[in-house]
Amino acid sequence: MRKLILQLHLWVGLIAGAILSVVGVSGSIYVFQPELTSSIYSELYQRTSPGTQTIAAETIVARAQEQFGGNVTTLYFPLRELENYIVKVEGKKEFIFYEGGTGNYLGELAKRRGVLDDVLEIHRQLTVGEIGSVITGISSLLLCLILLSTGLYLWLPNKKKQLKDGFILKQKASFKRRNYDIHKVFGFYFSLPLFLVGITGVYFAFPEEVQTVADYVTRAEEPTPDPATLKSEYRADMPQLTINQALVMMETMYPDYHKRNLIMPKDSADRVYFSVVNTSEINAGPEYRPQVYIDQYTGKILYAYEPHKAPAGKQLTRNWFVPIHFGEIGGLFTRVLWFLAGLMPFLLWVSGIIIWRNRKKGKMKTSFRPQVGVLK
């Protein structure tokens, strides 16, 4: 039985480990995305006038539409690492930055977070689109269901007196033994962080499927709607909701929350979407982010996610999965721990390959060893 489990751990690790290594290293970088983005693009993300009161979003919308001659389609508010506004205007691909305190135009970026968006694309999709998302999701699932469970089984020694060997790195060991200890000891200590990162990562790859399972397990009376199915019913006799009207709705519905983003409809069947969040900084604990989908003609709310009132399955995925996956659940401590955990798949993959090659060489030497009494 142990030999079969070892083979399963070996071959799944060799194949999925290569993908998890890329996902893990890029994830480690992205743990500190807020600090990195703010530092690399300080002229766009940081205010030129620190401490000033944030200018009204309506003013930013008016300036952007006047400057670029198109309607504002997307608006990101000053939040977390972003001290300014980010705007997208109809007919323009770039993200436009406006100073949060003065409303002055600051510049543009092809991607909202620049190079950090490239890191996120590698982390989620391996730069190959939807198929990459499926690959990373399946690899994360294999990590949680097979690699960690078989790894913990193999970590347990046959004799109890050898148990302590699984907790420490031996002093003055050979390279072969040190590599084995690294694989075994680090694999054990980071098994829980890797499981939490992996299982939440599956959600980001397969959100609807995971949500369906969460709703079923928690016995939700109504399934969580797929956002892609939330559409506006076309009304030729009614004007479309304006962005200023949507801003009023945000303020009226959630006066005590911090505005996060507002996205206007892309076509006649699309809906207005906005989200707000309970804190403007990176804090420990769950993230409470109400999300609202609105009919662009009637102003009727198609669906509103309320983080404190939603069924348990929805609260699990929407309140907890984001801070858990990005390591923000416990503040700076878990962010640093998650940074290290992201490096573990690569370390375990490389050390695992070395263990495999050493055993393969050992078997080859044994098979070619002369047998006593055979050669004459």
DSSP character string of 194-235 = HHHHHHHHHHHHSHHHHHHHHHHHTT-SSPPPPGGG--PPP-
- In the prediction, which pLDDT does 359 show? 81
- Torsion from C-alpha of 66, 69, 73, 78, nearest 10 degrees: -30
Radius of gyration of the chain from its Cα atoms, rounded to whole angstroms:
26
Length of the chain: 376
Q: Give the pLDDT band of residue 366 (cuts 50, 70, 90).
A: low
pLDDT: which is higher, 352 or 366: 352
Query: pTM of the full predicted structure?
Result: 0.90
The mean pLDDT value of the chain amounts to 93
Domain architecture of the chain: domains with CATH? 1-41+117-222+330-360 (no CATH), 223-310 (3.10.450)
Quickly count: other Cβ atoms within 10 Å of residue 227's Cβ: 15
Residue 173, pLDDT > 90, answer no
State the alpha helices, DSSP H only, in 218-299: 243-253
User: Max Cα separation, the chain?
Assistant: 102
pLDDT tens column, 180-230: 999 999 999 999 999 999 999 999 999 999 999 999 999 888 878 888 899
Q: What angle separates helix 175-189 from helix 332-367, to the nearest 10 degrees?
A: 140
- In the prediction, which pLDDT does 70 show? 95
Residue 78, pLDDT > 80, answer yes
Is 79 strand, coil or helix?
strand
pLDDT tens column, 11-55: 999 999 999 999 999 999 999 999 999 999 999 999 988 888 999
Q: What single letter denotes the amino acid at residue 245? A: Q
pLDDT tens column, 268-318: 999 999 999 999 999 999 999 999 999 999 999 999 999 999 999 999 999
